Structure 1
Amino acid sequence: MTFLDVVAWVEVSDGRMLAVRSRGRDLLYLPGGKREAGEDDWSALSREVREELALELDRASFRDLGVIWAAAHDQPGFSRVRMACFTAAHRGAMTPAGEVDEYRYVGRDDRHLLAPASQAALDLAGERGLLSS
């Protein structure tokens, strides 16, 4: 089985999780993406968030939330996604940048707007007590 290995930032505000829509995509994803050669999780995630949302993550608050596996969506050549999820505080003004056209905070009622891996991350955030009921 071929899988896509990515890192994702789980940002929750007022009990809702941040999601982004990349150019040309029909569903929402979490900020993050693939590691470049030699990058560790922190380096990859902080670079991706900077590129996608023009934010700086705070290294001291970087925490592992868990790893999820889900069906790949709109990823030719990959059947599954392994997504390592992390939380971290941030600074800066959130602005869609790079390939990201929009961002929004989603709750449990917005599940249908999310790609499968992002749905699993929403469940993980809920299990960790980060979301509103």
Structure 2
Amino acid sequence: MDLDVVAWLHTVDGRLLAVRSRGRDLLYLPGGKREPGEDDWSALSREVREELAVQLDEGSFREVGVIRAPAHDQPAFTHVRMACFTAAYQGDILPAGEVDEYRYVAPADRDLLAPAARAALDMATAQGLLS
């Protein structure tokens, strides 16, 4: 079974933005599941607004790639299919909704990340987004 989600890859000074949701032990990327009828842009902009209180810029919205990895805190054999995007934003990043904290992680911090976020970090590194 695959969970189909979207994620925001936002980097600053060679580090990737990650969030910790309430009750979770590992960090995830901002984003989440689509609601019925939502396209990638609608789902990601809504999720990021709910989680970090910022508005993504649709004109700069770009797909980076799609990863598939084991889902953390889900039943055995569940995987995440995560479409990853970059976009500029307006506002000040603040934890909101189900997000308790955010932080910027370097490739050396990959053990702090859930499996799909680790795979996205590796993809971002390979594509030069963290340099």
Give 5+ residue unaligned stretches, structure 2. none
| CA deviation vs aligned residue, 1:78-119 (integer Å, no higher than 9, x gap) | 610000000000010110000000000000110000000000
Shift of 1:53: 0.1
Provide, for residues 26-67 of structure 1, a one-character-per-residue CA deviation record: whole Å limited to 9, x for no partner: 000000000000000000000000000000000000000000
Percent of aligned pairs with the same amino acid: 74
Indicate the residue corresponding to 1:59 in structure 2.
58
Question: What TM-score do the two structures reach when normalised by structure 1?
Answer: 0.96
SS in 1 for 2:129: coil
Whole-Å Cα distance in 1 between the matches of residues 75 and 27 of structure 2? 17
Q: Distance in 2 between matches of 1:40 and 1:84?
A: 11
Q: Which residue of 1 aligns with 2:109?
A: 110
Q: Determine if the alignment matches structure 1 residue 72 to structure 2 residue 71.
A: yes
SS in 2 for 1:130: coil
Q: SS state of the match for residue 108, structure 2? A: helix
Aligned pairs (5 A) from 1:31-46: 31-46=30-45
Shift of 1:76: 3.7
Normalised TM-score (structure 2) = 0.97
The residue identity in structure 2 corresponding to 1:111 is R
In structure 1, the residue matched to 2:118 is 119
Is the 1:4–1:78 contact (alpha carbons within 8 Å) kept by the matching residues of 2? no
* Alignment RMSD: 1.0
Count of aligned pairs: 131
**1:13 aligned residue:** 12
